[in-house]
Structure 1
Amino acid sequence: MPLTVHQFPCLSDNYGFLARDEATGLAACVDTPEAGAILRELAKLGWRLALILNTHWHPDHAGGNADIKAATGATIVGPAEVTRISALDREVRGGDHVMLGETRFEVIESGGHTLGHVAYHDADDRIAFVGDTLFALGCGRLFEGKPDQMWDSLQRLAALPDDTRVYCAHEYTASNARFALSVDDDPALKARAEAVFAARERGEPTVPTTIGLEKATNPFLRAPHLAARLGAEGKQDYEAFAAVRAAKDVFRG
């Protein structure tokens, strides 16, 4: 039976995600940006929370762990780095798997934004929760990792099937689109950017995206094709990615 995902806004620009295994009725919360909002959504849906799946340690992703565990008794699962701000019941890393009822999540190493960042992939339902590694038309800042680590992480995600739905943790897409247009003139990107701007004007979310759409239009995944424009011609792919990331870090559009 399928996995049902319920998405809702949290904080200023985060999304909260509740995922329910329809075979058993058990639910997971992917990250805990805002405990109160998450508990209200659970009550509204009438779902029974079994797991908290953390992608990384940042407070807008693991800061609600203690309150949600106290209210629900959920098991907290995440990479070891989460213990910087929260206790863990189970530590995971790339190559592990986590069961939510009959739904199997593969844990994908996705460090770069933070060193121990992970993503959770439900292959049967073609769903990936990617935290702050991959965004719609963007990627996370390299607060702890190096460009080669982040590039490798993005390539692991890009290797997923093109129709995989990607649930990233922030609504950054309009800003990302403005940057993308400054470094890439591909017609597919231009069309997507127009759709993004229109959706945001209507107050509609741009998440989830898909792996195929990101491979076609995301400048961070397209970095090798943009190398010449950014002074990285003849460089290795991760160096081209580093040039795109550096340009985004100073972009003020």
Structure 2
Amino acid sequence: MACKKWCSSRQTKWALVGSASVVLVFAFGMVLSFVLQQRTRPGCEQEAACRPDADMLDYLQSLGQISQRDGLLVTWYHAANSQKEMGAALSSNAMVLEADVTVEGLNTVNETGVPVMAHPPAVYSDNTLQQWLEAVLASSQKGIKLDFKSLKAVGPSLALLRRLTEDGRVRRPVWINADILRGPNVPISIEVNATQFLALVQENYPEATLSPGWTTLYVPLFPNRTYTRAMVEKMQGLVGALPQKVTFPVRAVMVRAAWPHFSWLLGQSQR
């Protein structure tokens, strides 16, 4: 009987020691896994530059990708929309990815309201905005510029960005673009509604850098007009009082002739 008690007590002690060892090993494994994830997770180290509202040049300089705050040093990958193009963009040396967002099946009987990556006239894609953001945020340090081709896509897209940001996953600058004014040589109104677009950004994702532009048309060998002072002043009237950073996308071939107007526009703010 004494042996049974002694043996049982000894077995209990070894069982407790074994259980404690398993717990310690498991805890150590969890800590090690967390540390490794922190070390390998893409992102930057300077907190001020690792934010959706950060300056893109500050962010890229903090990563060592550019040597000075000069926009001419920044490399871009445009129309990284489909799964194939997104993969090529992520594998490239481009520092900032630009992609187009619309609504699946826009203005058809198959419209779903889901933001997808496509440039008009395409309204279908093998890549949703959620898939695109998940891939870009998980596997790269590249800056993000989203071009909205439909007002319907703006609200749900910004809601998705809001959730990802609150989860601490958007640690890089985000630019939000839409052509909100009619520009040179465009005969019909195809721009995104300026008032509604700007209001949606302010309400849902004010951290973003705004990139409002003009619709433009340029046909080589044909007479082409450039941006006018009235176009530029109208843009200033829309964005001049907004709190966030603003950058203006323009058609390069038209800039030189309109430079006095753009110089005036840039001089209206220190942003």
TM-score (norm 1): 0.31
| TM-score for the superposition, normalised by structure 2 | 0.30
By relative contact order (CA 8 Å, sep 6+), the higher-ranking structure is 2
Which structure has the highest helix share of the two? Answer: 2
Answer with 1 or 2: which has the greater Rg.
2
